[in-house]
Amino acid sequence: MSTLLHVCIAAIGGVLCHVLYFIHGEVFYESPRIFRVYAALFFILIVTECRTSSYGLCYGFLAATYIASAYALSLFSSIIIYRVLFHRLKSFPGPGLARISKFHLAWKTSMSFDQCLYLEKLRKEYGDFVRTGPNEVTIFTPNAINGVYGVKTLCTKASWWEMMWPEVSMITTRSKEGHSLGRKAWEKGFSLKGISN
């Protein structure tokens, strides 16, 4: 097969990977494994391109780079198009770059350390519900507290609660079942009988 055909297949593969895998759930936990798989595939591409052509290692590396670049370009293009046009949060107002990446908020507040002031500026500009990341809406109204944190809420904790992952405690767990199990153990210790012992 020609390198051009490999590039086209890689571009289609990038879109398919996004639609079939990356779009479903939080795959950032898999980042080390994904990186190892990509590195292995890149090495296999170099070897394959070297063996199928008579131009040698330099050509193999260059061809593999073209193929990997086509894959990455189509993957990231698919991600951006989805986040801007088709994401379920697309109707929430907010800065345009915040729809694409969470880095927008980090960049705006990293030098001055005034995230609360920047968020207040966004609230004044966009209202009580502002899309501050691809998968994130910041809510400024106190009326949302019961709906978000109440006993009967359907909301779950944000992914940053698992920053200590794979270490998980009752407080940092995001699953309601895990929290309930941890809470039962603590309830015994804080009962009247437990405290009096």
Confidence band, pLDDT 50/70/90 cuts, at residue 109: confident
Percentage of the chain modeled with pLDDT above 90: 29
pLDDT digits (tens, 9 = 90+) for 40-76: 999 998 888 887 777 777 788 888 898 999 999 999 9
Helices (H), the chain: 3-17, 31-52, 57-81, 96-100, 103-110, 115-126, 145-149, 176-190, 192-196
pLDDT tens digits, 8-34? 899 999 999 999 998 887 777 778 888
| Eight-class DSSP state of 150 | S
Of the listed ranges 85-94, 133-142, 175-184, the least confidently predicted one is 175-184
Residue 1 has pLDDT above 60, yes or no: no
For residue 103, what pLDDT is reported?
A: 86
CA distance 133 to 154: 20
Please report the pLDDT score of residue 192 as a whole number: 67
pLDDT at 106 over 70: yes
Whether the pLDDT of residue 78 is over 90: the answer is yes
What pTM value is reported for the model? 0.76
Whole-number pLDDT of residue 73? 95
- Please give the pLDDT value at position 194: 61
CA distance 5 to 184: 59
On average, the pLDDT of the chain sits at 83
Domain layout of the chain by residue ranges: 3-86, 89-155, 158-197
